[in-house]
Structure 1
Amino acid sequence: MTNTAITRRYDRTFDLLDTNGNGVLEEKDFTGLIKSIARATAVQGTPKEESLLKEWGNCWHTLRENADADGDGQISRAEFHQAMAASYGNHTQLQDGLVPALESSFAAIDADNDGVATVEQLEAYLTAWGLEAQQARTARGLLDADGDGRITRQEFVAGWTAFLLSDSPEGAAHALLGPVT
């Protein structure tokens, strides 16, 4: 992937994770995102919300350990770029560091626990991330690889993996979190 393409994807991710818009990532940004996802997926106060908080909390702690170079408890955009490239820049580290959080996210989306989510459920999840409704509709369509109106756990994780690792300028790899400009 070119430096420009990865920079744009990481910038988009940073901007959506920075829920209070103060230009740095803090634990409360991750907690705020998870609370928003829990509301959007109707899992507030359930074990699914607890799992979301635990797994995304683990992501925050891993990111902070790998990125917070000055030890101030915050992660700047530059620190985020460096950590993403180092921590999630390969499949093994992605599996270890991010997939458990993605799996807990999918569990929250999958209301009836049947291993698939409707495109509407995924759209609500993406809107909780901060995507506009049309952006969420576009992204959910990209994740529905076989066009059956349902997203499997595998499609969900594959879409995120492609977004973080693929050098493709198209599809879920390019537009999972909305337009990458």
Structure 2
Amino acid sequence: MTEDILTAKIEHGFDHLDADGSGRLNENDHVMMGRRAAAGLGHAAGSPEEARVVAAFVAIWNDLHRPHLPEGREDIDKATFVASTRSLATDPAAAEATLGALGRTYLSIADIDGDGEVGAEEFAAFQQSHFPGLGQGDIDKAFGYLDRDGDGRLTAEEFVSAVIEYWSSTDPEAPGNWWMGQPIYER
């Protein structure tokens, strides 16, 4: 059952990352996600802030995904994405290295005021822009699960742990399962 939970989370995540709906993840999806996130965070099109956010998303593509593509490929299909991401569940060091880097990149985008933490409003703005269709109720509930110390802010550790757990944990009780709102396996 736990493997099915992880696969369900990864498949659900892929569907949101596939910004153009092509069934394949590529650099263009990351550009689109970056623009969408920048706009959702209040950065004007063409602004330096938008460029920074888009560059961060493109860096995710170049640093996390592109190095693992077969020669001559510029995209990754869902089945390959799921298989490669699932492999992180049995390699905590690799999960920390890759997903930790992803979480820290997301944190640098979501932390609008630059204080090293993410408040509820910052979290909502980032999640709504990054995962269109995620409702405010789901975001609020997710924030409650991810804010492990209950202080109303996500520390860098809480934020990054949520990303790592979402993409690699087989524990149905892991708070990070709420990264994208109510866990898909509970719906």
Q: Same fold (TM over 0.5)?
A: yes
Q: Report percent identity of matched pairs.
A: 25
The residue aligned with 1:64 is 66
CA offsets 1:23-77 (integer angstroms, 9 cap, x no match):
1112111111122222222345346852x444432331332332x4484422111
Coordinate RMSD, CA, aligned: 2.5
The residue aligned with 2:101 is 100
The residue aligned with 2:120 is 119
Tell which deviates more after alignment, 94-103 or 20-29. 94-103
TM-score normalized with structure 2 length? 0.81
Tell which deviates more after alignment, 87-96 or 117-126. 87-96
Answer whether contact 1:119 1:144 (CA < 8 A) is retained: no
Alignment of 1:49-88 (within 5 A): 49-50=51-52, 52-61=53-62, 62-66=64-68, 68-69=69-70, 71-86=72-87
Change (3 A) 1:31 1:88: farther
Alignment of 1:1-150 (within 5 A): 2-43=2-43, 45-46=47-48, 49-50=51-52, 52-61=53-62, 62-66=64-68, 68-69=69-70, 71-86=72-87, 90-130=91-131, 131-150=134-153
Unaligned runs of 5+ in 2: none
Alpha-carbon separation, structure 2, partners of 1:157 and 1:175: 13
The residue aligned with 2:184 is 180
Count of aligned positions:
179
**What displacement does 1:88 show?**
7.1
Unaligned runs of 5+ in 1: none
Alpha-carbon separation, structure 2, partners of 1:132 and 1:49: 27
